[in-house]
Amino acid sequence: MIEQYDSLVIRCPMLGGEVPFQYCRKLNEELPCRKIIICWEFRIEIGKFLNEHYSFNQIHQALAPPNKTRLETILELIEKAKKTKEEQG
């Protein structure tokens, strides 16, 4: 059952606060957080859990590094803002 570990709590080092396992397994658009293995491998059989509940493609999608950096995203937003300002005259 996919909810088997949901009540376990961990300190999320990104947030600086406690979160339930449910947060970690749904963080990434309903797929697991990209860091789920590193955070949980010492507490539960995380590899087994992932294999039981997700397809290879889902695991790959969830754990793969981002294909675009945040700075690239920022630069895109800057360009968008410039266009908006131009449109507003």
**Contact 44/5 with Cβ under 8 angstroms?**
yes
Q: What Cα–Cα distance (Å) separates residue 89 from each residue in 28, 54, 76, 77, 83?
A: 38, 50, 20, 18, 10
Nearer to another protein, 57 or 84 (CB): 84
Q: In the window 7-66, what residues touch another protein (CB under 8 A)? A: 9-19, 23, 26-27, 29-30, 33-35, 38-39, 41-43, 65-66
SS3 of residue 33 by DSSP? coil
Residues lying near another protein in the complex (CB under 8 A) are found at 9-19, 23, 26-27, 29-30, 33-35, 38-39, 41-43, 65-66, 69-75, 77-78, 80-81, 84
